Structure 1
Amino acid sequence: MIIPMIKNAGGVFVPADEIYLPELTGFKNGELYNIEIKKTRNPSFHRKVFAFFKFCFDHWAADKTEWKYFDERKQFDTFRKHLTVLAGFYETTYNIKGDVRIEAQSLSYGNMEQDEFEKCYSALINAALKEIFGNTTDENVINQLYAFF
């Protein structure tokens, strides 16, 4: 069971929302429980990063590439991974033949701390400016792009 908790004064953790209270009533006071605690990333910043991916993807126009027959979700996921690699956040592995394979680093909450995620976002902006928006002269697009800085 995962319940978002907030630390209050005195080291007491309380549910982030009253909706989780019924799930906690089954626990008895004074009993010993093992609890795994993970600090979550800033969810609004996470949404901003994915809005940036979507903005870049829409500008890039995947329908003009060999990906045009993929469904939109697959196009977006592939694009997002490629931009992440261009930003320098990737892992190098080898396939069964021994060939080098580059895979985008996971941006999930559990795989990247907030400070690294912020560095990744900065690198994503730089990669997008160079690879996607480099020849853009449309002031509307440029103004929308600046909103992500």
Structure 2
Amino acid sequence: MKLWVSKQSGKLFPVDVEAQVRMNKLPAGEPIMIKYSKVRNPRHHRKYFAFFNKVYENLPEHLESNWPDVNSFRKAMEMYSGFFTETINLKGERFLMPKSIAYEKLDEMAFSELHNKVKTTIGTRI
């Protein structure tokens, strides 16, 4: 379970209602392990997805059928922007896979760079 907390006066507190609900589900009196990772700006993350939702909603008609949903559109634009890994399947065929943009995989600086590249890609391709 992921749980967003902030430290205040030496104690951990949930950062929002969702985090509070998750914290309430933790077992009382039992030890738990916490793995610390500094997260990128959550507002920037939400802005990124809101941007994709708006672009996807307003795709030209001739492009609407290229992607079945906004998530596949996002991944395609990220890959067009160079954000992918090349891998080989069991048949020896090469193919591309989008990289993860999960909080723990991408810091704020790398996420901002991806965001700018994606906006440029969409501006030139769409």
TM bracket (short chain) = 0.7 to 0.9
Partner SS for 1:91: strand
Match of 1:119, as an amino acid?
E
Q: What is residue 62 of structure 2 aligned with on the other side? A: 64
CA distance in 1, matches of 2:5, 2:77: 34
Correspondence for 1:116? 110
Q: TM-score scaled to structure 1, two decimals?
A: 0.65
CA-to-aligned-CA distance 1:59-108 (integer Å, 9 cap, x gap): 324x535837x7xxx43222111100111111111122222211111112
Deviation of 1:109 after TM superposition, in Å, equals 1.6
Q: Distance in 2 between matches of 1:96 and 1:22?
A: 44
Which amino acid in 2 is paired with 1:26? A
Structure 2, gaps ≥5 residues long: none
Report the CA distance between 1:46 and its aligned residue: 0.7
Whole-angstrom distance in 1 between the partners of 2:49 and 2:12: 30
Aligned residues: percent identity? 24
Query: Does the C-alpha gap of structure 1 residues 2 and 103 become closer, same or farther in structure 2, counting only changes over 3 Å?
Result: closer
Structure 1: stretches of 5+ with no match in the other structure: 133-149
Following TM superposition, by how much is the alpha carbon of 1:16 offset from its aligned partner in structure 2, in angstroms? 2.6
* TM-score, structure 2 as length reference: 0.75
CA offset at residue 127 of structure 1?
0.7
Does the 8 Å contact 1:84/1:90 carry over to 2?
yes
How many equivalent pairs are there?
A: 122
Local SS of the residue matching 2:43: helix
Q: Distance in 2 between matches of 1:45 and 1:76?
A: 18
Greater RCO (CA < 8 Å, at least 6 residues apart)? 2
Partners of 1:110 and 1:8 in 2: CA distance: 22
Aligned to 2:28: 26
Other-structure match for 2:47: 48
Secondary structure, aligned partner of 1:67: helix
- The residue number in structure 2 matching 1:39 is 38
Matches within 5 A, 1:128-143: 128-132=122-126
What residue in structure 1 maps to residue 70 of structure 2?
Answer: 76
How well do the aligned residues superpose, as a CA RMSD in angstroms? Answer: 2.9
